Amino acid sequence: MKKKSALRRFVSYFRPHWKLFTLDMICAVLIAVVDILFPIVSREAMNRWLPQQEYRVFFLVMGIMTLAFVLRAALYYVVSFWGHTFGIRVEADIRRDLYHHMQTLGFDFYDQNRTGQLMSRLTTDLFEVTELAHHGPEDLLISFVTIVGAMAVMFSIEWRMALIVLVIIPLFVLLLVLRRNGMSRASHIAKQRTGTINAEIESGLSGIRTTKAFANEHIQQARFDGANEQFKTAKRGFHREMGRFTATMELFVTILNVAVIAGGGLFIMQGTMDLVDMVTFTLYITTFIAPVRKLANFAELFSSGAAGLQRFCELMDTEPTVTDAPDAALLAEVQGEIGVEDVHFTYDGSSDVLRGVDIRVAAGETVAIVGSSGGGKSTLCQLIPRFYDVQAGAITVDGLDVRGVKLESLRRSIGIVQQDVFLFADTVRENIRYGRPDATDEEVEKAAKKAEIYADIMDMPHGFDTYVGERGTLLSGGQKQRVAIARIFLKNPPILILDEATSALDSVTESKIQHALDTLAVGRTTLIIAHRLSTIRSASRILVVEDGLIAEEGSHEELMERRGIYAALYNTQNLGERL
């Protein structure tokens, strides 16, 4: 797919819906045919049926034309309804593929791109691509058939007059192309700035509680207003180009009318053309107006749609940095032994977050990782499920380099409980079931009991069917954390990573959750990242990470005897608790 041009990629989405597309195109051709026939019928009426008083034929033909225009209206209904249905299906397919591709992209991609910008690409951009998919081919076909058919008839009537029209049309097409290029560039800029305001809206709404807590609504409004001004400026450039295009089109239509009247008048005075033929030409010029406007519409659609299509292709061409190797093995029957071998890692390519780290964790062992903020603790644990890839060294699970096993099987073997729990805007039941989507209700409830959240759930208004709110805002911090723990119980992974899982909770809630975590850790390889050292009492070994290195290692007693970094951290926390 990446080797194809943007246009070929776009057209490839038509193939599954070719029947609807064909129906749309057939109806478009029939509409054009009816438009071409009316001036011919009018000419015959003025030349033959009315002068010869063939009223029966005249009214019969008028009746047939009436039926033809009724059919034309029905065809427009088909084009409008089924054509839009075709466009929506194409849009859904494109959005499906784009969302699927976005799910393959790594954490580094989402670190660098704002959610609002990505939302804009999934919604606004694709809507305009859909409009191009539906209206683009239809408008082009109607315009082509109408203009070519009308030119053929006009040449058969008076070739000199037709030649005048034929000379003017290519000049218009040239101006149309020049204006379209300007519109396309302006549209691309507008889309980028539209993405910026979407990102600002998303950020503002996501952080509304923080905004209100600090009474900073005026600051957030100012930020929004700034983005909104950029949006207006961006659209101004596009509308300027669109105005130039519209003015050019209107000039063409009027000049074409003047040229036909002037040329027709000259030929009538010379006696080489009669008034009826001139009226026929005028009717065809009127017939041209609709195709010309459709071409104008197509130019605008193409500019917006092409810009959206380009942004779609850019995103689809973004290569995920973390992928399965061609010969990746399935990680099965995981025991849980973890190896970290001379690992180096950097986020920005300049400053190392980890520098030559070596760790060996036996299957079923519980190891705590402590140290000051920014030392590399969380980064180290994010390398194990391959959220990022190491720059040097290797991470192994059961002796296998994680870069050589299938990502899905690796991540299904690892359960992560973080301080910042994310819950989906759904029920408690479905948030727990997320740990294993095929779990039964009984299994969900059993996991809730193990996580010591069952009683809280039963006290909620609708039990397990209680809606948790956006990001779980209708639950307390302790309840959210225990729902996340229940999710891991349901997943039942052999490797467990607890990343500051209780640091934001009060002592009573922490005690409840710590008991649930201790139960969860039984029989699993467990890594505990903690600032609060009271939460690592179940660890058999403690690693102190400082400045990207393993500065100390040992049991609590051994590290206290050394009176090093760990002892200083422990004594500082104990002093703080006594105070």
Distances (CA, A) of 245 to 242, 287, 549: 5, 20, 63
Q: pLDDT band for position 575 (50/70/90)?
A: low
Of all residues in the chain, what percent carry a pLDDT higher than 70?
90
Q: What is the rounded CA–CA span in Å between residue 41 and residue 67?
A: 14
Tokens, residue 275: 């008034």
- Across-strand partners of 74? none
Asked if residue 578 has pLDDT above 50, the reply is no
pLDDT of residue 296: 67
pLDDT higher for 123 or 188? Answer: 123
Asked if residue 429 has pLDDT above 90, the reply is yes
Cβ–Cβ < 8 Å for 193, 231: yes
CATH number of the domain at 6-316, please? Answer: 1.20.1560.10
Q: What is the rounded CA–CA span in Å between residue 142 and residue 147?
A: 8
Which of 490, 419, 400 minimizes the C-alpha distance to 448?
A: 490
Which DSSP state fits 48? I
What pLDDT digit, counting tens, does each position of 156-212 carry?
Answer: 888 888 888 888 877 776 776 677 667 767 776 776 677 667 777 777 776 776 676
What pLDDT digit, counting tens, does each position of 176-192 carry?
Answer: 667 766 776 777 677 66
pLDDT of residue 2: 56
Separation of CA 162 from chain center: 49
pLDDT of residue 444: 92
pLDDT higher for 144 or 494? Answer: 494
- Across-strand partners of 554? 542
Q: What is the rounded CA–CA span in Å between residue 259 and residue 254?
A: 9
Which of 426, 421, 486, 501 minimizes the C-alpha distance to 456?
A: 486
Question: Residue 366 — φ and ψ, nearest 5°?
Answer: -110, 120
Asked if residue 442 has pLDDT above 90, the reply is yes
**Lookup result for tokens 């609708």:** 462
Averaged pLDDT for residues 107-121: 79
What pLDDT digit, counting tens, does each position of 526-551 carry?
Answer: 898 887 776 776 688 999 988 888 88
Averaged pLDDT for residues 8-33: 88
Residue-by-residue DSSP string for 199-254: HHHHHHHHTHHHHHHTT-HHHHHHHHHHHHHHHHHHHHHHHHHHHHHHHHHHHHHH
What pLDDT digit, counting tens, does each position of 272-317 carry?
Answer: 788 888 888 887 777 777 777 777 667 767 777 777 788 888 888 8
Tokens, residue 276: 């009826």
Query: Where do the structural domains in the chain lie, given as residue ranges?
Result: 6-316, 338-578
Q: What is the rounded CA–CA span in Å between residue 209 and residue 190?
A: 30
Does the pTM of the predicted model rise above 0.75? no
Q: Kindly report the average pLDDT of the chain as a whole number.
A: 82
Strand order in the sheet with 338-346: 352-361, 338-346, 392-397, 400-401
The continuous run of DSSP H or E covering 340 comes out as strand 338-346
- Across-strand partners of 416? 497
Tokens, residue 84: 């839009």
pLDDT of residue 509: 65
Cβ–Cβ < 8 Å for 342, 383: no
pLDDT of residue 505: 60
Averaged pLDDT for residues 396-407: 91
Of all residues in the chain, what percent carry a pLDDT higher than 90?
8
User: Helix (H, G, I), strand (E, B), or coil: what is residue 396?
Assistant: strand
Q: What is the rounded CA–CA span in Å between residue 362 and residue 335?
A: 9
Q: Sort 294 into a burial class: Cβ within 10 Å, 0-12 / 13-18 / 19+.
A: buried
Taking the chain, what is the end-to-end CA distance rounded to the nearest angstrom?
64
Averaged pLDDT for residues 60-73: 89
What pLDDT digit, counting tens, does each position of 340-399 carry?
Answer: 999 999 887 777 888 888 989 999 898 989 888 777 888 888 899 888 889 899 999 998
CATH number of the domain at 338-578, please? Answer: 3.40.50.300
